[in-house]
Amino acid sequence: MLPVFRISRLRFGTDGKGITTLVGLFGCPNQCRYCINYSWFKIKPQNLCIHELYNLVAVDDIYFRITGGGITFGGGEPLLWPEQIIAFAQLVNKKWAINIETSLNVPWENVEKLIPYVDAFIVDIKDMNEDIYLAYTGESGAQVRKNIAQLAQLIPQKIVVRIPFIPEFNASEDIYRSRMAIENMGICSIDVFTYRKCSTEWEKQPQNRHKGNNINA
Ligand code: SF4
């Protein structure tokens, strides 16, 4: 079963090639300061078997096929659910693209086993500096840095790295250093962008910050 909290259809240019459907999976090892999907805390995920999920997303089959798009698993952290995603990918059988939006803060085994089934790993790297990563996410980024280096050795052409400007946590020189580190791994597809800060007092309360689920962050 996959814990799905959100299905967002007909996306273009944000989560992989072509037209995609974003499937948000519940749970995340990080506790990012500006995770904007805090509202999902109040919503229980729907546990779907791969066939139920397939039937829901197949409504856009024609769009996926025409544009080379498909399904993007995001979150939360989709790499907490590698076996289920593999089963779904086998069901799809290369008819649609399968993309993963991830922080990569998971054991390497979770990443490695998905490599044959994934068309693009879209990695929100946060910052390559450990102090910044720890301050922003509440977790160490050591595993992330190991995973991105190993993934880059195997499939650099299938990786897109997003490097955010994180207000109050990093600066342009940090972003430059992260970018250099990523480029030196042989990854060419790099996207620099800015996180939206929490805008309300409610959002800033730790208990209201989600431990998973930020499609944008
Ligand atoms: S879903 Fe993304 S932004 Fe939210 S806590 Fe996890 S890694 Fe951070």
Q: Domains in the chain, please, with CATH?
A: 2-208 (3.20.20.70)
> Could you tell me which residues come within 8 angstroms of residue 8 by beta carbon, excluding any fewer than 6 positions away?
21, 22, 24, 215
Question: Ligand 1 — pocket residues by CB below 6 A?
Answer: 28, 30-32, 35, 75-77, 103, 137, 210, 212-214, 217
As a whole number of Å, the CA-based R_g of the chain is: 17
Q: Can you give the pTM of this predicted structure?
A: 0.91
Q: Whose CA is nearest to atom 8 of ligand 1?
A: 32
pLDDT tens, N- to C-terminus, the chain (217 residues): 999 999 999 999 889 999 999 999 999 999 999 987 655 555 679 999 999 999 999 999 999 999 999 999 998 899 999 999 999 999 999 999 999 999 999 999 999 999 999 999 999 999 999 999 999 999 999 999 999 999 999 999 999 999 999 999 999 999 999 999 999 999 999 999 898 765 444 444 544 444 333 333 3
Closest approach atom of ligand 1 to CA 211: 5
Cα dihedral 191, 79, 83, 188, rounded to 10, equals 20
- pLDDT given for residue 13 in this prediction: 87
Cβ-proximal residues to 172 (8 Å cutoff; 6+ apart), any chain? 165
